[in-house]
């Protein structure tokens, strides 16, 4: 018999799996592992995403984990920078590489670089890096020295790293641990002894899918594909991966709609009970990015523009019972919460407690100010 669960149960279970209810005690690397990586386009948001999930934390702990090789920083899902545990990173990178995005004619037309040149670039970058770190400019100089690749120098200087992403997905390059404001690169095996390489995609898929569903399920193959690569990836292959995981996955119904969850978590999901726990989450938080901002069960219809803004910016959010119930910002010593009135009255005591907790994490005093969200 198919388990039937309500949306509120799902949200409560996800809060638990995301180390938000209750707040977890796991170490930095384990937080990243549980979340299938932490988006790190904005370093301060990435650190806060880790710290709000830990009962005790300190500033700089993410940088320490990167320096020790407990995490690596590289371009992963959706082509964005992520913090990933080195032992599991290869599973997600493998699926990104399986898209072969750089072999598409549209890629070559737009960037002027075809698959043969990407392959040459891989070899030059691997040889140049060896077991050392190179700054972006040092890496560009090494590429320019290979005459046939000189014309890609300007593209390599871009902070977006577009031409380096296919190399990242194939395990050739990642960011070096921070050295001031200097951006530098290394090979993953030089950053961390825990690096396990990039396996074949069909071998990596079971671990990647069950990890994702263990944090953001129940979900569909299409939802997993959107989280993994947006619209870049063919749906047929992703669905084939799901279809081949019969022993690992269980089908459930969420408010009457079919979705999948790891079989090992079915009883835990069935036992989940809704709650109204309040959390203040940073911008680009995985709790929102995992299911995606288009999911109406996470963000009330009509409020998505306040969360998912222009240029891919994801606002800091207030989560109540797993539902995005507002956004927040810090302004001149005030914690300004914009509350979505359609979800009910703001729980002022819980908001106050959470604001105080965030004040402690940030090492400042914040005065709570709650007002209805515009729009």
Domain boundaries, the chain: 1-272, 293-372
**Cα–Cα distance measured from residue 286 to residue 283, given in angstroms and rounded to the nearest whole number:** 9
What pLDDT does 234 receive? 83
Q: Are 86 and 197 in contact (CB under 8 A)?
A: no
For residue 5, give the nearest of 210, 301, 257 by alpha carbon.
Answer: 257
User: For position 375, what pLDDT does the model report?
Assistant: 65
pLDDT tens column, 224-257: 999 999 878 888 999 999 999 989 999 999 999 9
Give the pLDDT confidence score for residue 151 in this predicted structure: 77
Residue 159: the pLDDT is 67
pLDDT score at 1: 78
Q: Say how far apart CA 223 and CA 295 lie, in whole Å.
A: 9
Q: Are 291 and 216 in contact (CB under 8 A)?
A: yes
363: left (phi over 0), alpha (psi -120 to 50) or beta: left
Question: Residue 119: its pLDDT value, please?
Answer: 94
Integer Cα distance of 57 and 55 in angstroms: 7
By C-alpha distance, which of 351, 267, 357, 374 is closest to 48? Answer: 357
pLDDT confidence of residue 289: 98
Residue with tokens 């919460």: 337
Q: What are phi and psi of 166, to 5 degrees?
A: -60, -30
Q: How high is the pLDDT of residue 218? A: 98
Task: Give me the residues of the chain with pLDDT under 50, please.
Answer: none
């Amino acid at each position: 018999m198919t388990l039937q669960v309500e949306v509120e149960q799902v949200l409560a279970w996800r809060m638990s799996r995301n180390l938000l209810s209750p707040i977890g005690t796991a170490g930095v690397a384990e937080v990243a592992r549980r979340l299938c990586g932490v988006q790190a386009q904005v370093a301060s948001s990435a650190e806060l995403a880790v710290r709000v999930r830990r009962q005790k934390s300190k500033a700089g702990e993410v940088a320490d984990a990167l320096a020790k090789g407990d995490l690596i920083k590289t371009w992963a899902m959706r082509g964005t920078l992520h913090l990933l545990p080195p032992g599991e990173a290869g599973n997600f990178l493998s699926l990104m590489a399986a898209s072969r995005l750089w072999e598409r004619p549209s890629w070559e037309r737009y960037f002027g670089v075809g698959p043969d040149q990407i392959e040459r670039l891989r070899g030059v970058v691997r040889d140049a890096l060896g077991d050392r770190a190179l700054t972006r400019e040092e890496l560009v100089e090494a590429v320019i020295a290979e005459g046939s690749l000189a014309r890609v120098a300007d593209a390599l200087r871009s902070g977006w790293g577009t031409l380096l992403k296919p190399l990242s997905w194939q395990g050739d390059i990642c960011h070096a641990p921070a050295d001031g404001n200097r951006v530098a690169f290394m090979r993953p095996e030089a950053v961390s002894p825990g690096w396990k390489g990039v396996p074949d995609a069909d071998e990596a898929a079971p671990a990647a899918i069950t990890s994702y569903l263990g944090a953001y399920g129940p979900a569909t193959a299409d939802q997993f594909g959107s989280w993994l690569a947006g619209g870049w990836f063919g749906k047929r292959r992703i669905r084939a991966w799901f279809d081949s995981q019969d022993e690992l996955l269980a089908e459930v119904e969420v408010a009457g709609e079919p979705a999948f969850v790891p079989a090992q978590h079915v009883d835990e999901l069935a036992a989940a009970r809704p709650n109204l726990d309040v959390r203040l989450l940073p911008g680009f938080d995985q709790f929102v990015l995992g299911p995606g901002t288009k999911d109406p069960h996470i963000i009330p219809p009509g409020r998505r523009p306040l969360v998912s803004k222009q240029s891919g910016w994801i606002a800091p959010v207030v989560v109540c019972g797993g539902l995005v119930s507002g956004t927040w910002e810090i302004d001149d010593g005030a914690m300004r919460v914009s509350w979505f009135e359609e979800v009910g009255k703001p729980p002022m005591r819980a908001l106050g407690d959470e604001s105080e907790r965030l004040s402690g994490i940030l090492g400042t005093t914040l005065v709570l100010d709650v007002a209805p969200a515009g729009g």
